[in-house]
A and B are shown apart, each in its own frame.
Chain A
Amino acid sequence: MANTDQGGLARFRKALWIGVVLVGAAGLGVWGYSQIQSGPPASDYASAFGGAFALTDPEGKPVSDKTLAGKPYAIFFGFTRCPDVCPTSLARMASLRKQLGADGMKFNIVFVSVDPERDTKPELAQYLTLFDTPIIGASGTATETAQAVKAFHVFYERVPNGENDYTIDHTASVFLMDAMGRFVSTIAHDESQETALAKLKRLVSQS
């Protein structure tokens, strides 16, 4: 009988402690959320976007967070069979670079294929010549692609288009990374040219 009571008490204590931990965790969560809402410093974002990834360019040379270090870069995820948003975004990056004048080459433009199955390396290379400015093409195996996508929290999903075809829904923002590979900001697809230019100016001035 006494044993049962003690057991009950122990269980009660345990429940109490779990309660304390839960309340504490919830409080921390609320605090954390309020921090995010009030706008965290750049360093907090840095851990959210970016990180280790390893792909290769059309010539087979590695393109990774390590090879890109030392120069800021603008990275965009897409595929060559994307007829509208991808060429629009890449052409815009090319025109922004032109607008920056001498500073235009102080950052790299990186295009990551989220369709490695269909975007062969020669196709990717040819596609990128369209934009009249050096763009680093990057692709990899399904696993490597998934890792890069995960590092940048990019959304992509294959969607069937008819019987034998598919399209890919994907994040259309450009991610701006500093020379240390830390996240600085994004350029949204519908952002004005002025805002986008200001962000790039800030990016290259930091380096």
Chain B
Amino acid sequence: MRNMIRTAGIGLMALALATPLLAHNYAIGKLAIGHPWTRETAASQKVGAGFLAITNSGKKADRLISATAAGMKEVQLHTVSMDNGVMRMRQLKDGIPVAAGETVTFKPGGYHLMFMGLTQPFKKGAKIPVTLRFQQAGNVKVQFAVQPVGSTTPIEVDHGKH
């Protein structure tokens, strides 16, 4: 038991030390949400895709069931798959499960939050506030960093340089 506490303590310290290097992270209950990001959109564009990583350090499975945001009509949960060179995108109406002890990474070519009916474009460098709703953990407000259109991974910003 003491060992476990010590390990947990070291883990927490490591986490605390690591945090300043990461752009932005959020936590709710047993869930940690890492660097939500999206891509800049053209003035005329009606949609965008949001990516992030969700780590469930708890013992119970959780599920991202929906999301809401101002400045757009709707947020849907989607998955993209490639089938013989054909891109297929589907809405996941039952949400996206996050099993206990696992990390689910939303990334290009896989899961994304689909921002639909944008009333204004996403400008590079802006932050888009979004509320994520989890079945167990409840609601958490996060901000999606708007990255250049060519991004395929989150850009970790070292805030120390600012």
Seen from chain A, the residues whose Cβ lies within 8 Å of a Cβ on chain B are 80-85, 87-88, 91-92, 94-95, 120, 122-123, 126-131, 155, 159, 161-162, 165, 167, 169-173, 188-190
Contacts and interface: CB of A to CB of B under 8 A. Distances in A.
Contact of B112 (A83, A127, A170, A171): A83
Interface residues on B, range: 20 to 34
B108 interface: yes
16 contacts: A80-B45, A80-B47, A82-B89, A83-B48, A83-B112, A83-B115, A84-B109, A85-B89, A127-B44, A131-B149, A131-B150, A165-B116, A171-B85, A172-B86, A173-B85, A188-B85
B44 A126 contact: yes
Contacts of A189: 82, 85, 87, 109
Contacts of B70: none
Interface of B: 39-49, 76, 78, 80, 82, 85-91, 108-109, 112, 114-116, 148-152
A167 B48 CA distance: 13
A85 B109 contact: yes
Given A84-B80, A85-B109, A170 B87 contact: yes
B42 A85 contact: no
Contacts of B152: 88
Nearest to B40: A130
Contacts of A84: 49, 80, 89, 108-109, 112
Contact of B86 (A82, A130, A162, A169): A169
A81 B44 contact: no
